[in-house]
Amino acid sequence: MSARYEELKGLKNLGQKYAYTDREVMLYAYGIGLGADPMDENELAFVNEGTFTPRPLKVVPTFASVAAWGSGPGEMNLNRVMVVDGERDITFHQPLPVAANITADSSVLEVYDKGKDKGVVIVHQTVLKNEKGEKLATLVASRFARGDGGFGGPNLTQPDPHKIPSRSPDKTIDITTRPDQALVYRLCGDRNPLHSDPEFAKKAGFPRPILHGMCTYGITCRGVLQTYADYDASAFRQHVARFSSPVYPGETVTMDLWKDGNVISFEAKVKSRGVTVIKNGKTVLG
């Protein structure tokens, strides 16, 4: 077996310690656009704890994606300029608390070597646990390293993605992003200059900074929250999405949604450019 394959497959990092408070919870919710209407009580519940009429602050389920920002299985020694997000799949074991001390256990699940000059897909997992050792969420991420591959890994086939229904969408909604949204979302952890520095973005081949893929991922969670989940964060059991194209801050994201029992399928596009930005989306409610 390839030594490079074994090196990547063996990466593991257990017991990483993190903590967050309601400040990070509210910042994330605002970062994905909740609270744009200061009179919308459904959205305010995620960004404001209430005063005259106290109410518990709600936590957006996909806050799990930044609750332990920086955690991972270890250094992969990849060409980072050529690395892009492929997919996120979060399973929610219980509702996330408003503030917590947590641990993160990370490991590489599989490595798909596509061959020389074709890149490699690395799938890794992070399990978030509370102070009692109970699972809060399991995050599975795939990253596509376009500048790597061809090191002789096993010839494996990636699982097929979730299939979107062939019928017309049951619902379609528009979610507007703010021109400064990437500058807010980056404060949740991802300081990649691709999302904030015009000069860097141009050198990377984009006319201007792009929105974080994980912000778009959070926006799709928001879309399900406001349609089929009735803003009940505790109803989420799983949220999966594949990234296919970037969103530019200020654009409107159009989500198509299909409901089949407790499974919500979705895709997202930016109509003004005729591009699909999220494919094969799936939310499981319960």
From the list 89, 113, 195, 239, the catalytic residue is 195
Strands (E), 149-205: 171-176
Q: What span, in angstroms and rounded, lies between the C-alpha atoms of 266 and 244?
A: 13
Contact (Cβ atoms closer than 8 angstroms) between residue 137 and residue 92:
yes
Token look-up 């074994």 returns 6
Of the candidates 25, 31, 60, the residue with the CA atom closest to the CA atom of residue 184: 31
Rounded to 10 degrees, what is the CA torsion of 180, 70, 138, 108?
130
Q: Which residues are paired to 101 by β-bridges?
A: 19
The one-letter code for the residue type at 72 is G
Tokens at residue 92, please? 């929610």
Query: Collapsing DSSP states into helix, strand and coil, what is residue 267?
Result: strand
**Helices within 113-253 (DSSP H only):** 181-185, 198-203, 213-227
- 148 assigned to active site: no
From the list 105, 113, 190, 256, the catalytic residue is 190
Q: What span, in angstroms and rounded, lies between the C-alpha atoms of 282 and 275?
A: 19
Interhelix angle 22-31/213-227, nearest 10 degrees: 90
- 195 assigned to active site: yes
Q: What span, in angstroms and rounded, lies between the C-alpha atoms of 251 and 174?
A: 10
**Helices within the chain (DSSP H only):** 3-9, 22-31, 41-47, 64-67, 181-185, 198-203, 213-227
Instruction: Cite the active site residues.
Output: 190, 195
